[in-house]
Amino acid sequence: MPDGPSARPERRNKARRSCLETDAVLASLGEAHWQAPVRDMSATGIGMLLDQRLDPGALVSIELLNKCHQFWHLKLLRVVHVTPHDGQRWLVGSAFVKQFTDAEFGALFE
């Protein structure tokens, strides 16, 4: 059986929205902070690229701001999977500890 994200069955129950690679969040784990390009996001989770590997189960906080800078959220998420990406980065898939409401999630893309 092949390894990697394509080998996993799809389990998401909310639609994901693609984001530009230049769209980034500020991710924090303890005292460490990183700018993390966003790969995709739904009301229940987010995929982002990090320069540092995180362990599945780790709790990470992120700051999300909409493009018009009118809507901001600080969210806690739990790392679900970590996959090597381009040899230098890690694709981190994570689930929000408390998911967005439909209205909150929509406001991020306004």
Question: What domains sit in the chain, N to C, each tagged with a CATH number?
Answer: 32-108 (2.40.10.220)
59 pLDDT above the threshold of 90: yes
pLDDT score for 71? 66
Q: Which class for 6: exposed (0-12), middle (13-18), buried (19 or more C-beta within 10 A)? A: exposed
Q: Say if residues 35 and 59 touch (Cβ distance below 8 Å).
A: no
pLDDT tens readout for residues 79-88: 999 999 988 8
Angular region, 3: left φ>0, alpha ψ -120 to 50, beta rest: beta
From 15-24, 65-74, 82-91, the region with the lowest mean pLDDT: 15-24
pLDDT score for 14? 54
Q: Say if residues 50 and 27 touch (Cβ distance below 8 Å).
A: yes
Please give the average per-residue pLDDT across 31-36, as a whole number.
84
Please give the average per-residue pLDDT across 28-53, as a whole number.
87
